[in-house]
Chains A and B, each alone.
Chain A
Amino acid sequence: MLQKINIDQIAELARLNLKPAERDKLAKDLEGILAYVSQLQELSADKVPPTSHVLPIENVFRKDFAKLSDIREAVLKHAPKCEGKFFKVPKVIEGA
């Protein structure tokens, strides 16, 4: 089974600009890998439950209490750009 993919649409979803030189190669690679993966279609597994996790795990809860932390300074120290106690990014709302 040959799965055609729309590389530009996938790259848009993945928030990834692609260099023109790598775009076609990546599309070809992906189609090759998907052709290999398509061997899964020969198995009938309709009644098999999916495994997203191998351990029988449950959500873990803890008490919600506040404590002091010095993490903010440590985190902001190496941020690409910050101002005061905030990360700084380009304007989020266009035209504002």
Chain B
Amino acid sequence: MELYELTLKQAQEFLAKNPNRKDELTKTLADRIKQVDSKLNTYINFDSKHAQKNGDVKGPLSGIPVSIKDNIVTRDWETTCASKILKGFVPPYDATVIRKLREAGAVIFGKCNMDEFAFGSSCETSCFGPTRNPWNLDFVPGGSSGGSAAAVAGRTAIAALGSDTGGSIRQPASFCGVVGLKPTYGRVSRYGLVAFGSSLDQIGPITRTVEDSAILLNVLAGHDEKDSTSANVPVPDYTSFLTKSVKGLKIGLPKEYFVKGLDPEVEKAVKQATSVLQDLGASVTEISLPHMKYAIAVYYVVAVAEASSNLGRFDGVEYGFRHESSNLRDMYFETRNQGFGAEAKRRILLGTFVLSAGYYDAYYLKGLKVRTLIKQDFDQAFQKVALVLGPTAPTPPFRIGEKMSDPLSMYLSDIYTISANLAGVPAMNVPCGFSAAGLPIGMQLTAKPFDEGTIFRAGSAYESATKWHEKVPKL
């Protein structure tokens, strides 16, 4: 086994036994990137001089390289959000999650490719070109954290951070056959995450195993005085849930998830995964989330409204790209015209429209009201069951270019993931099979707020009983 193939847990064990081989671990991974990343394009920015720093801090992640989605700011290291408008932006501070990783000894390893400003479900809107799926280079890795997910699957990263506003950790994890967790809103500090939809965004781990996810969340979670929306709720040891049996665990399958539009291969794999958990002692019942079908409509009002407001700050004055002009208005308008890509413009315009005079009540306010109904659906479901199980994405990965000309069909690939952001609940993708064409399929486990423990419990039990996570793409 090569060192770049180690899981986070295995890397911890390896370095505990061989503390003087830290540099070897990062070097092997750097060599791997040189070897395969011209095919995958998982990194926007990789510089081994940054990777060498911090190797000597003692902590649970001491010496272990962790890769970072390029919308999380890193001090003195360019952060681009895969957008031309942030060209040359070198943050003067670290995001809280970066500080926590450094304090735990992790090596901040490289900045991963993504959809521009996290707007996308395929990693094709990056101004640095698309990331490719390690299982088949003609297919997308999902998005927006496609670089992070493809890096973990393609063994150009041991573990990575992503961000999730409507499925941007879970859907690419599903497409790449890795584990991706969107924690409860407020569980992980957003300080230093470039904002997209501030009431929806969460940072979370993308890893090869459920165990690795728990190890990373232990480091990331917790209250932060620099993020007033971070929750002051105690952080349990998430690894303590990994060995708990699922005997007696109540799991609900929403009947609205298994309807037209769901790919038969995905349906079959998810149903089989349900049987595995049942055989391990979990009890499965049908539940209903009646407003689920409105989730995408709500999202494309609420998320774009927040995005249009958040992206107002990119005007060429203080950082990033500026179109020089002697006229101030022209500088603003042309900086934004040249700096933003097509999908960013689409969302800024849509958000501006739904917030504009005369349309606010019909669109934005209505969206917020239906968001309440979606949240209430989850509240009611969690009175009956401890875990909601369903597909993460309606289909296996699609081809590069397939959905780029039709934004709505792209948006629909997040149909199962968006509601967790609207309701603020934690949800995880766990790999549960492959299509006949050899592309990964994932299931989504959703729990009530701050109950990530139950997700780890079920995810780990399933992973121990199956072998999907041991499959490796050939590159």
Chain A interfacial positions (CB closer than 8 Å to B): 5, 7, 10-11, 13-19, 22, 26, 29-30, 32-34, 36-37, 39-41, 43, 45, 48-55, 57, 59-60, 62, 71, 74-75, 77-81, 87, 89-92
> What is the 8 Å Cβ interface bit string for chain B, positions 322-339, against chain A (1 contact, 0 not)?
101111100111101100
B142 within 8 A of A: no
Bound complex: CA A28 to CA B185 (Å): 34
Docked-complex contact A19 and B368, CB < 8 angstroms? no
Given contacts A80-B322, A90-B325, contact A54 B199 (CB under 8 A): yes
Docked-complex contact B369 and A78, CB < 8 angstroms? no
In the complex, how many angstroms separate the beta carbon of A51 from the nearest chain B beta carbon?
A: 4
Q: List 19 A-B contacts (CB under 8 A).
A: A17-B334, A26-B342, A26-B349, A29-B407, A30-B350, A33-B346, A33-B411, A39-B294, A45-B373, A50-B365, A54-B375, A55-B185, A60-B228, A62-B225, A78-B90, A80-B321, A81-B324, A87-B317, A92-B328
> What is the 8 Å Cβ interface bit string for chain B, positions 353-377, against chain A (1 contact, 0 not)?
1001000001101111111110100
**B365-392 residues at the A interface, CB under 8 angstroms:** 365-373, 375
Docked-complex contact B199 and A53, CB < 8 angstroms? yes
B106 within 8 A of A: no
B297 within 8 A of A: yes
Docked-complex contact B92 and A43, CB < 8 angstroms? no
Chain B residues whose CB sits within 8 angstroms of the CB of A32 once the complex forms: 407-408
| Among candidates B231, B319, B367, residue contacting A40 with C-beta atoms closer than 8 Å | B367
| Among candidates A5, A36, A54, A90, residue contacting B328 with C-beta atoms closer than 8 Å | A90
Chain A residues whose CB sits within 8 angstroms of the CB of B349 once the complex forms: 7, 10-11, 14, 16, 26, 30
Given contacts A59-B228, A74-B92, A90-B327, contact A16 B294 (CB under 8 A): no
Chain A residues whose CB sits within 8 angstroms of the CB of B427 once the complex forms: none
The 4 residue pairs across chains A and B that have the minimum distance between CB atoms: A54-B424, A50-B368, A74-B92, A80-B322
Docked-complex contact A71 and B92, CB < 8 angstroms? yes
Bound complex: CA A55 to CA B318 (Å): 32
Docked-complex contact B89 and A51, CB < 8 angstroms? no
B301 within 8 A of A: yes
B416 within 8 A of A: no
| Among candidates A17, A30, A55, A89, residue contacting B229 with C-beta atoms closer than 8 Å | A55
B340 within 8 A of A: yes
Docked-complex contact B327 and A17, CB < 8 angstroms? no
Chain B interfacial positions (CB closer than 8 Å to A): 88-90, 92-93, 185-186, 199, 225, 228-229, 231, 291, 294, 296-298, 300-301, 308, 312, 315-322, 324-328, 331-334, 336-337, 340, 342, 345-346, 348-350, 352-353, 356, 362-363, 365-373, 375, 407-408, 411, 422-424, 449
Interface of A is mostly: loop
Docked-complex contact B88 and A78, CB < 8 angstroms? yes
Bound complex: CA A2 to CA B222 (Å): 46
| Among candidates B297, B300, B318, B423, residue contacting A87 with C-beta atoms closer than 8 Å | B318
Q: Which residue of B lies closest to A16 (CB)?
A: B336
Bound complex: CA A31 to CA B333 (Å): 23
Docked-complex contact A51 and B371, CB < 8 angstroms? yes
| Among candidates B316, B346, B362, B373, residue contacting A43 with C-beta atoms closer than 8 Å | B373
Bound complex: CA A44 to CA B57 (Å): 57
In the complex, how many angstroms separate the beta carbon of B393 from the nearest chain A beta carbon?
A: 19
In the complex, how many angstroms separate the beta carbon of B310 from the nearest chain A beta carbon?
A: 13
Bound complex: CA A90 to CA B318 (Å): 13
Chain B residues whose CB sits within 8 angstroms of the CB of A60 once the complex forms: 225, 228
Docked-complex contact B371 and A81, CB < 8 angstroms? no
Docked-complex contact B322 and A81, CB < 8 angstroms? yes
Q: Which residue of A lies closest to B186 (CB)?
A: A55
Chain A residues whose CB sits within 8 angstroms of the CB of B186 once the complex forms: 55, 57
Given contacts A57-B229, A74-B92, contact A13 B300 (CB under 8 A): no
Docked-complex contact A51 and B368, CB < 8 angstroms? yes
Docked-complex contact B369 and A48, CB < 8 angstroms? yes
In the complex, how many angstroms separate the beta carbon of B187 from the nearest chain A beta carbon?
A: 10
Chain B residues whose CB sits within 8 angstroms of the CB of A51 once the complex forms: 368-369, 371-372, 375
New contact pairs (11) apart from A30-B346, A40-B363, CB-CB < 8 Å: A10-B353, A15-B336, A16-B337, A34-B350, A37-B297, A43-B291, A45-B373, A50-B368, A54-B199, A71-B93, A80-B321
Docked-complex contact A29 and B319, CB < 8 angstroms? no
